[in-house]
Amino acid sequence: MKLHTILAIGSGGFVGAVLRSYVSGLVNKHVAHNIPFGTLSVNLLGSFALGSLFAYFTYTTIFSPTIKSFLSTGIMGAFTTYSTFAVESFFMINGGMYVTALSNMMLNVFGTVIMAGAGFKMFEAILK
């Protein structure tokens, strides 16, 4: 991998991580919950955004491979938080909150797949 690609991914990761922390914190501050809606929000939004980006990448040639890496692997890779989701779900299970954990897992897994597809299909319809 070339240095400029590594720097693009790293700087995108910085942006994505800061955005994830901000959005997740903002949602958690304003939504009373047992399910971690901050994490769910960034996973759903991030999945939609990544699906949208991939549709854009598929139907246009505007972005260089470096910019694609910055946006997808960098920003979106750091913005979505499946590792956090896994740990939060584990702690719910470990704490005996089985229904809450199952709800959290179902919302994250199915919701993100639906949102990624929705983002792709929306931009596919616009750009095709």
User: How many secondary structure helices (H) and strands (E) does the chain include?
Assistant: 6, 0
Number of domains in the chain: 1
Looking at residue 101, what is its pLDDT? 97
Range of the domain at 37: 3-127
What pLDDT is recorded for position 62? 94
Contact 85, 20 (CB under 8 A): no
Mean pLDDT (10-residue bins), the chain, 128 residues: 97 98 96 89 94 94 96 95 89 97 96 96 94
Which residue shows structure tokens 């009373």?
Answer: 32
What pLDDT score does 128 carry?
A: 86
According to the model, what pLDDT value does residue 33 have?
81
